[in-house]
Chains A and B, each alone.
Chain A
Amino acid sequence: MNNRRMLMFEIIRGAAAILVALIVAMIFIFICSDQPFEALRYMLVSPLVSNGSISMNSIYTIFAAMTPIIFTGLGVCVMFSSNQFNLGGEGCVMLGGFIAALVGIYCSTGTYLDMVIAVLIASIVCAVVLYIPAVLKVKLGASEMVSSLMINYIIMYVVLHFLNNVFADGSKGSVQTFPFAETARIPQLVAGGSKLTWGFILALIFTVLVALFMYRTRWGYSIRMIGINQNFAKYSGMKVGAVIILSQIIGGFLSGMGGALEVLGRYEVFLWRDLPGYGWTGVTVAILAKNNPIFIPIAAFFISYLNRGCTLMATYSDVPAEMVDIIQAVIFLFFAAEKFLAKYRQKLVVAGAKEELSQKNAAAAEGGQK
């Protein structure tokens, strides 16, 4: 009974946060556009509908954009669940993509095992990288947040160094690697320019796996318990250090996999010159999903939809696409705000308690009559 109320409350609260963000967006659109309604229509409707009919291609594009952020979102979800603010997902995406690209170029066996090997090696390397901040935190108490942020930059510069000086394809004007072996590329799920690959299906499979891991295994339970109350977990005999390390290794593994699938699925060569930003979007997605793996694809869909809407709006009207960052941040802030609408929640709780009480009283009264 109470759970249903709380779920209702969470949904209402989420809707309210989105509404606030849309109002902010509308204010900005009205200030900066000559045709505000046109712009708004492009932002909200055109990702789904174009020329009066539902555009499958546009939807595939949204799905394709969801793939990496589902992975980083899941990664953040696992890491934040143990109350570790590890922000290394960003670097792991880049590193994962780079390692996968290298494996795809230089270690090709000529069979379709290539992509499996490339993605797996990339994920494992990233898991190892995030082992560093985890171990520093557990053994020495060094802030995992600062060290993981630093690791992002180290990864970026080291990748750039190897890209520029060792693995660059000298015959091209821009800095890029040689093309990946055909067998290392992630196959497309649908034909056309949407670049929707099997990576998307894998993302959904991993969502289920991570959800099962978090809610149906001893390890997942330990991770969540440590996040809620570390001391309690410690005194009830959990291996806190090992579990914290495990959660961050998994986070690195997932983020790396997201980067690998993104690079092998969407590109033919590796050419990222900067951190791609999926790690930060992953944090947003995890917050919108309330750290619950099952909701991650929904949150990722929402963010991708919003991005696509803003891109279309910028293409066809006079509002810059970058507005999406403001909308995202506002939604993010209100979603993460525990006390947003807290009074309303209080009322709900009180109402629920009263109802239960009156039921009990009624039951007691009946019992008294007998």
Chain B
Amino acid sequence: MLEQISSLIFQTDFVFSIFRITAPILFAALAAVVAEKAGVTNIGLEGIMLISGLFGTLFSYWTQSWMIGVLGAIVVGTLLALMMGFFALKLNTDIILAGIAINTMSAGGTIFLLYLFTGERGNTASLTSSNILIPTVKLPIIDSIPIIGEIISGHAVLTYIAFILVFVIWVLLYKTAIGLKIRAVGENAHAAESVGVSVIKIQYIALAISGILCGMGGAFMSMYYSQSWNTGLIAGRGFIALAAQAMGRGEPVGAMFSSLLFGLAQALRTKVSGMQGVSSNLISAMPYLVTIIGLVLYAASTMKKVKRRKADEANEEKK
């Protein structure tokens, strides 16, 4: 059986599928990273992606343009994130509860909105045609390299954007003024406020960025990954992304690697599910189990560090 599995893994289309599966998780994980850096836990990722995915499909259907579809999804995602911000920052709703509310709303609300706008029930399969899906690109030179070309070339535009965004978000957080402010607010809001940073404004901005990223993730899911929108579209990817953020230690690059781990696990599951003697359900549970283990390892290592630092300080004082 191991041979079977290994022969499956060392195929280019398998590696290709890892990237495809990782991209939406990565969008959401980056969204979680930015929000968390500003001290806001965005648990509404799941709902925002589901709703913006729906609007992505709708906008692209109305305008027959995938670009406007993606833009629409981004706008809707941003608005939802800002709405969360309004309740959390302005009206003092606990941000976690605001996120849960968004998720509650998204579950049935999307079905309702879809019916309201189109009269369709439950999915948009009849609305989407291939010309309004997000197109794939063949990268000019890389495409002709044997194995690497097959793996890296031919992805959807947004897949590339997802991985480029890892770098962009890193630059944003660590090389720009606004990134510095975001991190300062997340580290210590009072200290940031005392030097004249408007905490609420920065948190709004972080949430908006988070919403943009969720919007892209939603559009990716409905306009490329599953080719149309349906209620089970996101299937917990928003929550997985929260885990990827935590496991990636809240850093963009770390989040990318943990997202890839989830991508790998899910790709494996699709491959293995047809095999004899393998339970696809148990394999599906693996990524979540891995997350908890990752969380534990991360938490344990930080605990050790803190303890060591405290011990060092105590020693210094003695001297």
A321 to B111, CA, bound (A): 9
| A: number of interface residues (CB 8 Å) | 49
- Give the CA-CA distance A97 to B159 in the complex, in Å: 40
How distant is B7 from chain A, measured CB to nearest CB, in Å?
Answer: 25
CB pair B289 A154 closer than 8 Å: yes
- From the candidates A28, A150, A158, name the one contacting B112 in the complex (CB within 8 A): A28
CB pair A332 B97 closer than 8 Å: yes
CB pair B94 A336 closer than 8 Å = yes
Contact flags (1/0) for B72-109 with A, using CB distance below 8 Å?
A: 00000000000000010011111011101111111111
Q: Is the CB of B100 within 8 A of A280?
A: yes
Does A31 count as interface, using CB distance less than 8 angstroms?
yes
A145, A150, A326, A338 — most chain B CB neighbours (10 Å): A150
Contacts of A161 in B (CB 8 A): 279, 281-282, 285
A residues near B115, Cβ cutoff 8 Å: 32, 320, 322
Interface residues of B (CB under 8 A from A): 41, 43, 87, 90-94, 96-98, 100-109, 111-112, 115-116, 121, 236, 239, 242-243, 246, 279, 281-282, 284-285, 288-289, 291-292, 295-296, 298-300, 302-303
Q: Which of A118-126, A136-144, A350-358 touches B?
A: A136-144
Are A326 and B112 within 8 A (Cβ)? yes
Which residues of chain A in 153-168 are interfacial with respect to chain B, using CB atoms and an 8 Å cutoff? 153-154, 156-158, 160-161, 164-165
A172 CB–B CB distance under 8 Å: no
Interface string of A275-287 (1 = CB under 8 A from B): 0010010011001
Asked if A28 and B101 sit within 8 Å, CB to CB, the answer is no
Q: Is A151 an interface residue (CB 8 A)?
A: yes
* Inter-chain contacts of B298 with A (CB < 8 A): 142
B295 to chain A: closest CB distance in Å?
5
Complex contacts, B91 vs chain A, CB 8 Å: 334, 337-340
- Interface members, chain A 14-56 (any B CB < 8 Å): 28, 31-32
The secondary structure that dominates the A interface is helix
How near does chain A come to B225, taking the closest CB pair, in angstroms? 19
> Which among B92, B105, B282, B295 is the interface contact of A329 at CB below 8 angstroms?
B105
The contact of A141 among B43, B96, B299, by CB within 8 Å, is B299
8 Å CB contact of A325 from B104, B282, B284, B295: B104
Question: Quick check: B281 and A337 within 8 Å, CB to CB?
Answer: no
B236 near A153 with CB under 8 A, answer yes
A339 contacts B90, CB within 8 Å?
yes
Measured between C-beta atoms, what is the minimum distance from B200 to chain A in Å? Answer: 12
A324, CB-defined interface residue at 8 Å: yes
Contact check, B41 vs A336: say whether CB atoms are below 8 A apart: no
With A141-B299, A333-B101, A338-B93 already in contact, 17 other A-B pairs whose C-beta atoms are closer than 8 Å: A28-B116, A141-B302, A142-B298, A145-B41, A145-B96, A145-B242, A146-B295, A149-B239, A154-B285, A157-B281, A157-B284, A158-B281, A161-B285, A322-B115, A326-B108, A330-B105, A339-B91
Cβ 8 A contact of A142, one of B98, B108, B121, B296: B296
**5 pairs of A and B residues whose beta carbons are closest in the complex:** A325-B108, A322-B108, A329-B105, A337-B91, A157-B285
B101 contacts A325, CB within 8 Å? no
- A28-B116, A322-B111, A332-B101 are contacts. A338–B92 as well, Cβ < 8 Å? yes
Q: Is residue A147 within 8 Å, beta carbon to beta carbon, of the partner chain?
A: yes
